[in-house]
Amino acid sequence: MLEIGPLTIHYYALCIITGIAVAIWLGNKRFNFKTAQGQAVVSEVAFVAVPSGIIGGRIYHVISSPNAYFGKGGEPVDALKIWEGGLGIWGAISIGLFGAYLRYKSLGKKVELPSFAVFADALAPGILFAQAIGRFGNWFNGELFGRPLDTWWAVEIPSRYRPSGYSQFESFHPTFLYEAIWCTVIAILIIVLGDKLKAGQSFALYVAAYCVGRFFIELIRIDTANTIAGLRVNVWVSVLVGAGAALYFARASKMNH
């Protein structure tokens, strides 16, 4: 936490806000479309998409980790404390994208706009950079790290943040850093390949590639999570969502735009 007089700023929230600002800025640069009234479409859509994404991300997190809030010793009111961490990317992207779609279509009734697929493509790298920046909030909160690791890039975790059974270990896999690096690599790849891809493919590439990295990262993490058939729920989600995105990418390559 950063305290300035009576004002308390949580580093996790600061990372999220910074990431959102970067996503909007880069999205505006890439979409580069304004209405006749001079409105920047990305900024207009963000007024709906951002809060929708935050709400969706929190809902997904609470649903996928209910015991932390409604189990033994849990406090239901803590589900509202977003600044303490806990935004599920799947909920954030799905609900945020739905909110963006509704707002974009609403704007499209007033002025002719490119397809929503083109708009989503323009946003993809910025969203990835936002995710990368947001992951550093997990470092400040001492959360979402992986198995014990003893090497130069391992992250030291204070004893109060170590899960039960790991109190004797001091350093762990910085899985939040792995994800930040992976998101950055995908964002750069999309920017480089952007002109060679058809409408919708950049966003599909973002989702599919992110799921590949998230699949392996989830296998390293040791924080408490619900499982299905011995695997974390997010592993299954990565497989299903990633497969769907890959199929869409292949289908979009055959479309004429």
Torsion of CA 134, 135, 136, 138, to 10 degrees: 110
Give the dihedral of Cα atoms 181, 187, 192, 197; nearest 10 deg: 140
Q: Assess contact for 225 and 233: CB atoms under 8 A.
A: yes
Q: Low-confidence residues of the chain, pLDDT below 50?
A: 2, 5, 35-38
Residue 56: C-alpha distances to residues 19, 60, 62 (Å): 17, 6, 10
pLDDT for 143 equals 85
The predicted pLDDT at position 257 comes to 52
Which pLDDT does position 170 carry in this prediction?
94
pLDDT of residue 33: 63
> If DSSP codes are grouped into helix, strand and coil, which group holds residue 154?
coil
What is the residue type of 179?
A: E
pLDDT the model gives residue 36: 46
Distance CA 45, CA 107 (A): 9
Task: Return the pLDDT at 83.
Answer: 63
The two three-digit tokens of residue 244, written as one number? 């769907």
Separation between Cα atoms, residue 119 and residue 123, nearest integer Å: 7
> What is the pLDDT, as a whole number, of residue 164?
87
> How open is the CA angle 105-110-113, to the nearest 5 degrees?
55
0.85 surpassed by pTM: yes
Q: Which pLDDT score is estimated for 223? A: 85
Q: Output the pLDDT for position 39.
A: 62
Angle at 118 between CA 104 and CA 176, to 5 degrees: 90
- As a whole number of angstroms, the distance between CA 17 and CA 21 comes to 6
Helix (H) or strand (E) holding 155, with range, is: strand 155-156
> What does 226-251 look like in DSSP terms, one character per residue?
-EETTEEHHHHHHHHHHHHHHHHHHH
Domain boundaries, the chain: 2-143+167-252
Q: What letter represents residue 152's amino acid? A: W
Q: Rg of the Cα trace of the chain?
A: 19
User: In the structure encoding, which two tokens stand for residue 28, read together?
Assistant: 């505006």
Q: What is the separation of C-alpha 97 from the centre of its chain, rounded to a whole number of angstroms?
A: 12
Which of 11, 22, 41 is CA-nearest to residue 127? 22
